[in-house]
Amino acid sequence: FSQMFSLIFLMLFLQLYLLVTCQDGHDCYSQMEQSFYKDGDIEIAAFLHIYTYDVPRIERSFSKYRRFRWFQSKNYQYALALVFAIEEINKNPYLLPNMTLGFGFYNVMHSHMTVMENPFIWLAGLEKHVPNYTCRKQSKSVAVISESSIAVQMGTLLELYKIPQLTLGPFEPLLSDSGQFPSLYQMAPKDTSLPHCMASLMFHFGWTWVGLLHKNGICVDFVELIPATVESQISYQNSAKIQIIKSSANVVILFCVTESLIGASFHSWGELMMWKVWVTTSQWDFASSEKPFLFHSFHGTLIFSDHHSEISGFKNFLRTANPSKYQEDSYLSRFWSLAFNCSVTGTSCKTLQNCPLNASLESLPPHHFDTSMSDGSYNIHNAVYAVAHSIHEMLLQEVEMQPVNNGAKVAFSPWQLHPFLKNLQFTNPAGDLVNLNHRINLEAEYDILNFWNFPYGFGRKVKVGWFSPYVSQSEQLSLSENLIEWATGITETPRSVCSVSCSPGFRKTPLEGKPACCFDCTPCPENEISNQTDMDQCVKCPALQYANTERDQCFYKKLTFLSFEEPLGMTLVCTALCFSVLTAVVLGVFVKHRDTPIVKANNRGLSYILLIALIFCFLCSLLFIGHPNTTTCVLQQTTFGVVFTMAVSTVLAKTITVLLAFKVTAPGRRMRQWLISGLPNSIIPICCLIQLALCGFWLGTSPPFIDTDAHSEHGHIILVCNKGSVTAFYCVLGYLGSLALASFTVAFLARNLPDTFNEAKFLTFSMLVFCSVWVTFLPVYHSTKGKVMVAVEVFSILASGAGLLGCIFVPKCYIILFRPEKNALKGFRDRIASKETDVLKCSS
C-alpha cells in the first residue's frame, strides 16, 4: 500500500510540475495550434518543420504540455513562399480560372516520437491521430508538400492512398526509386553534378586533403556521418568536434542535408574550429549566429546553391506581410512577437501589443530573417505551380471529374493527378524550366556563394562564381577570386594538402595505412626522370638518352670514343710514339755497332728482328685510339696478336740460341748441327704462322665489329670495337701467353751459364715483366668499361713492349755508348782469361 501511495504522489507531483512550468513566458506558444488553414476549392497540405518544442518523457496523457524551444526563421520562409505562390495563382486569370487554391499548413518535429503525429491527424481528419483510419473521403486536399528529410516516413504512409507528395529538396536519391515511392515527386533538380562541382573547386585551389561530413557516409582526412534524428545528434557532436579540431585538413566539406539544430550545435563551438575553410550547400544555415565576425569560424564559407532566377514580387510580398494581414497564420504572430519583442495577449495568442511602428520582415537582420528566396522556398513555389498546372491540364481534358454535390465545388481524387505530374514540364514565372519527368535528365547548375559575416550576425552571401555542366569542361567552373573572403585569420588562398606535391625529378611513394594523397617524395633512380609534379612512377630514358642531374629531362647522349684530342688519348699516343722512336734509336745503335763483340755475341740478326717487332708493337697501339671503323676494329686485335707473337717468339729463339751455344761446347754434339743450320731462327715464322691461323679462324667465324656502349659513361655513347668472338680473343691471348711462358722457362734454365755476354738473365727478367703485365691486364680489363677498357689494353701493350725493350736492350746500349772499353775485343779476352784463372784456382 505504501508503494502505491508513493507512486500516486509522484504522479501528482509531476503533473503539478508540468502545470507550473508551462506558465512561463512561452506558455501561450505551448497552447497554440500547430497548423493553420486557408480555405479553397482545392487545397494543398504542407508539412514543414517550423519550430521545435520539448515533449516530456512521461505518460501519453500529459503529451499536450510542451515547452517551446526555438523558431526556425529560415523554414518559416517556406510557409510564406507557399502563401505567396497560392496568392499568385489565385490572381492569375489564365491558370485555374474560376477556382481558388487553399492550403493546410502543419508543423512537423524531427523526432521519431512525433514526426508522424500531424500527418496522422491530417489523414484521420479528426482532432487526434488514429492510425489506419481516415475521414477524408470528401477532402479537398489533392497533394502534399513536405521536406525530403521526412518524406521517407510520410511517403510510405501516403502511398497507401496514392496521394501525390512533392518534396522541396534537396534531391534525395533514395526517394527517386519509383518502385518504392511511385507517388513522390522531387522538385529539387538532380544533384549528380554537385560532387563534380565540389571536386572542380577543390582542384581549382589545389585542395587535395579535406575533411568530409555527410549523411550517407577528393581524398579525405576523416569522414563523419551526421545523424538524421535529433536523438542521435547529441552523441555525434562531441566526436565530430574532436575529429575536426585534430584534423590536419584545412578544408571541411559539409555534403548533406540538415536542419538548423545541427547548425546551431556547430555554432556553439565554432570558435574552436577557426582557420578552417568550410564548403557546403545552401541547406546549411550559417547566417544564424550573432557572434562578432572576428570570432566566427564560418566566415568565408563557400556555399553551393542551386542556380535559379529571381521570383519577382516575392520580396515585396515579404515586406508587406504582417499578422494583421494574415490573421489565420498563428506562426506569423509567434515569429512577430519573437522578432520584435511584442507582447502576446488574448485567448488565441494572436493579439500583439507593444510592437515597433513600421515593423516588417524586411527590417530584420539576415540572421533573424533573410528576405532572399532560398532554394527550399523556390522549390515550394514550383511545387504549388506544378499542382496547379496538373489540375489545369486535367480540367482541360475533362478527365474523371468528381460530380458536383448540392452545389458544392468539385473535389478531386488525388490519384487522378499522377498521369499529369509524371510528364509535367512548364515554365515558372521566373522564366525557368521546371521538369518533373524523370526520363528527361536535366543536371543542375550552381551558384557559388561566399559567406561574409559582419559584426552581430549581419551576414551576407555574395556570389563569387558559378558552375554549369552544359559548357566545355575547362569553362564549367568560373570564379572571381578577388571577391572571396577567406576564413578568419587567413589572408591568402589557403592550402589543404596531406603531402606537399613532389616536384619534377621525384616520384610519389605511398605511405602505408594512409590515403592515396599522403605520400613521400623519392628521387628518381639513375637514368629515370619525372617531368611533371606528383608522378607515381619515374620514366626510364631511352637507350640513346640520359637523365640530367635534376632527373627531370632526358638529353641525347654525346657520341664519344678514345680520341687523339682528349688528354688520355693524347698521352697514350705520345707514349707510343716515344717508345717507337726510342726503339728505332736502339735499332740504329745496334746497326752502327754491328761489328762489336756485344752485338755479335747477342745474335744481332735476332736482335734486329726483335727491335723491328717492338716498333710495330708500339705503333699497333695507335689502332685502338681514334674513331673506330670496321678496318681498325679488325686490325686492332690481329695486328696486336701477330706482332707480339713475333716479338715473343724472337725472344724464345734468342733464348734457345743461347742454350744451344753452351751445349755445343762439347765436341761431337748433335746440337752443333742445329745451331749451325739456324734451326732456332725457324721458330719465329712457325709461331707467327700459328698465330695467323688463329686470327684467320677468328675473322672467319666472328670478326670484331663496331659497337656502342651507352652505360659506362653518364651522358655519353662510347664507340668501341666489339671483340666479336670472346673465345677467339682469349685463344690469341692464351697462345701468346704460352709462348711467353716457354720463353721465360728456357731463359730461366740458361740464366747461370758462364759467358760474358750471356743475356739469359735479361731475357728471363723481360719475360717476367711481360707476363706480369698481361696477368694483371686480365682482371683490370674485365672490371672496366668503355674508353677506360680501351686505355687499359693500350697501356698493357705499351708496358709489355717497354718491358722487353728496357730489360733486353738498355743494358747493352749502356755498354755500347757509355762503357766502350768493355765492348772491345782485348777487354773481352782479358775478362775470359781472368775467369779461366778463377776457375783453375777453384779446382785446385
For 603-612, the pLDDT digits (tens) are 788 889 889 9
pLDDT at 552: 92
pLDDT at 830: 55
More confident residue, 748 or 585: 585
pLDDT at 266: 53
Question: What average pLDDT does the segment 584-604 reach?
Answer: 84
Write the CA distances from 364 to 254, 310, 318, integer angstroms.
28, 20, 11
Question: What average pLDDT does the segment 686-704 reach?
Answer: 90
Percentage of the residues of the chain whose pLDDT score is greater than 90: 19
**Looking at this protein, which amino acid is placed at residue 539?**
V
CA distance 497 to 801: 69
CA distance 735 to 729: 10
SS3 (DSSP) at 223: strand
Of 368, 358, 367, the C-alpha closest to 338 is 368
C-alpha cell at 298: 564560418
Q: Which residues pair with 521 in a beta bridge?
A: 508
CA distance 390 to 373: 24
* Residue 494, C-beta contacts closer than 8 angstroms, at least 6 positions apart: 205, 207, 250, 251, 277, 486, 487
Write the CA distances from 265 to 69, 146, 237, 240, 840, integer angstroms.
14, 24, 7, 11, 128
The residue to which cell 757509355 is assigned? 818
Same-fold call for 194-309+443-483 versus 567-843: no
Write the CA distances from 751 to 680, 789, 832, integer angstroms.
18, 36, 18
pLDDT digits 0-9 by tens, 343-358: 877 666 667 888 888 8
Query: Which of these ranges, 232-236, 260-264, 774-778, 804-808, has the smallest mean pLDDT?
Result: 260-264
Average pLDDT, the chain: 78
CA distance 383 to 628: 88
The DSSP annotation for 579-629 comes to: HHHHHHHHHHHHHHTTTSHHHHHT-HHHHHHHHHHHHHHHHHGGGGSSS--
Q: What global pTM score does this model have?
A: 0.61
pLDDT at 356: 86
SS3 (DSSP) at 434: strand
pLDDT digits 0-9 by tens, 767-810: 888 888 888 888 888 888 778 888 898 999 999 899 888 888 88
Q: CATH classification of 194-309+443-483 is 3.40.50.11540, yes or no?
A: no
Query: Which of these ranges, 390-404, 574-588, 660-674, has the smallest mean pLDDT?
Result: 660-674
C-alpha cell at 454: 559582419
Write the CA distances from 549 to 500, 717, 745, integer angstroms.
22, 17, 55
The DSSP annotation for 107-161 comes to: E--SSTTTTTHHHHHHHHTSSS--TT----TT--EEEEEE-HHHHHHHHHHHGGG
| C-alpha 16, offset from chain centre | 66
State the pLDDT confidence band at 543, using cuts at 50, 70 and 90: confident
Write the CA distances from 20 to 9, 12, 63, 821, integer angstroms.
17, 12, 15, 148
Name the range with the highest mean pLDDT among 215-229, 288-302, 682-696: 682-696
Angle subtended at Cα 96 by Cα 93 and Cα 100, rounded to the nearest 5 degrees: 95
Whether the per-residue pLDDT at 755 is higher than 70: the answer is no
Question: What average pLDDT does the segment 671-695 reach?
Answer: 75
Whether the per-residue pLDDT at 504 is higher than 90: the answer is yes
What residue segments make up the domains of the chain, in order of their start? 194-309+443-483, 506-556, 567-843
Write the CA distances from 651 to 5, 644, 803, integer angstroms.
136, 11, 12
pLDDT digits 0-9 by tens, 118-144: 777 787 766 555 555 555 545 688 999
Whether the per-residue pLDDT at 537 is higher than 80: the answer is yes
SS3 (DSSP) at 647: helix
pLDDT digits 0-9 by tens, 544-564: 888 998 999 999 988 888 888
**Other Cβ atoms within 10 Å of 448 Cβ, number:** 24
Strand residue runs (E) in 256-336: 277-281, 302-306
CB 754 within 8 A of CB 835: yes
State the pLDDT confidence band at 54, using cuts at 50, 70 and 90: low
pLDDT at 129: 52
Q: At what angle do helices 630-663 and 760-782 cross, to 10 degrees?
A: 150
C-alpha cell at 533: 609534379
CATH architecture of 567-843: Up-down Bundle (1.20)
* Residue 604, C-beta contacts closer than 8 angstroms, at least 6 positions apart: 590, 594
pLDDT at 70: 60
Whether the per-residue pLDDT at 540 is higher than 90: the answer is yes
Query: Which of these ranges, 30-44, 116-130, 285-299, 372-386, has the smallest mean pLDDT?
Result: 285-299
Of 153, 182, 150, 179, the C-alpha closest to 167 is 150
C-alpha cell at 569: 688519348
Query: Which of these ranges, 116-125, 197-206, 688-697, 705-714, has the smallest mean pLDDT?
Result: 116-125
Whether the per-residue pLDDT at 460 is higher than 70: the answer is yes
CA distance 813 to 712: 44
